[in-house]
Amino acid sequence: EVQLLESGGGLEQPGGSLRLSCAASIFTYSDYVMSWVRQAPGKGLEWVSSISGSGDSTYYADSVKGRFTISRDNSQKTLYLQMNGLRAEDTAVYHCAAYYYDSSAVDYWGQGALVTVSS
Amino acid sequence: AIQLTQSPSSLSASVGDRVTITCRASQGISSALAWYQQKPGKPPNLLIYDASTLERGVPSRFSGSGSGTDFTLTISSLQPEDFASYFCQHFHNFPAITFGQGTRLEI
B70 contact A CB<8A: no
CB-CB contact of A47 with A34 (8 Å): no
Chain B residues touching A46 at Cβ < 8 A? 99
> How many residue pairs from chains A and B have C-beta atoms closer than 8 A?
54
My answer on whether omega of the bond before B95 falls inside 30° of 0, hence cis, is yes
* Rg of the Cα atoms in chain B: 13
Nearest to A35 by CA among A90, A111, A99, A89: A99
Contact B43 A95 (CB under 8 A): yes
What mean pLDDT comes out for the span B39-56? 96
- If pLDDT is split at 50, 70 and 90, which confidence band does A113 have? very high
What pLDDT, on the 0 to 100 scale, is given for residue A52? 95
A108 touches chain B (CB under 8 A): no
Q: Do B101 and A52 touch (CB under 8 A)?
A: no
Separation CA A52–CA B20 (nearest Å): 36
Question: In the predicted model, is pLDDT for residue A55 greater than 90?
Answer: yes
Contact A106 B46 (CB under 8 A): yes
Residue A27 reports pLDDT greater than 90: no
In A, minimum Cα distance to B9 occurs at A44
Residue A107's nearest CA partner among A22, A30, A33, A6 is A33
Greater pLDDT, A26 or B10:
B10
Whole-angstrom distance, CA of residue A19 vs CA of residue A70:
10
Contact A44 B101 (CB under 8 A): yes
Tell whether A42 is within 8 A of chain B (Cβ).
no
A111 burial via Cβ count (<10 Å: 0-12, 13-18, 19+): middle
pLDDT confidence band for B94 (50 / 70 / 90): confident
CA distance readout (Å), A115 to A11, B61, B85? 6, 36, 22
pLDDT value of residue A2: 84
- Say how many residues make up chain A: 119
Instruction: Give yes or no for residue A26 having a pLDDT over 90.
Output: no
pLDDT for residue A102 is more than 90: no
- The backbone torsions φ and ψ at residue B5, rounded to the nearest 5 degrees and listed phi first, read -115, 120
In whole angstroms, what is the distance from residue B38 CA to residue B24 CA? Answer: 20
A 68-97 near B (Cβ less than 8 A): 95, 97
- % of chain B exceeding 70 in pLDDT: 100
For residue B93, name the pLDDT band (cuts at 50, 70, 90). Answer: confident
What one-character-per-residue DSSP string does A31-55 give? GSEEEEEEE-TT--EEEEEEE-SSS
Local structure of B67: helix, strand or coil: strand
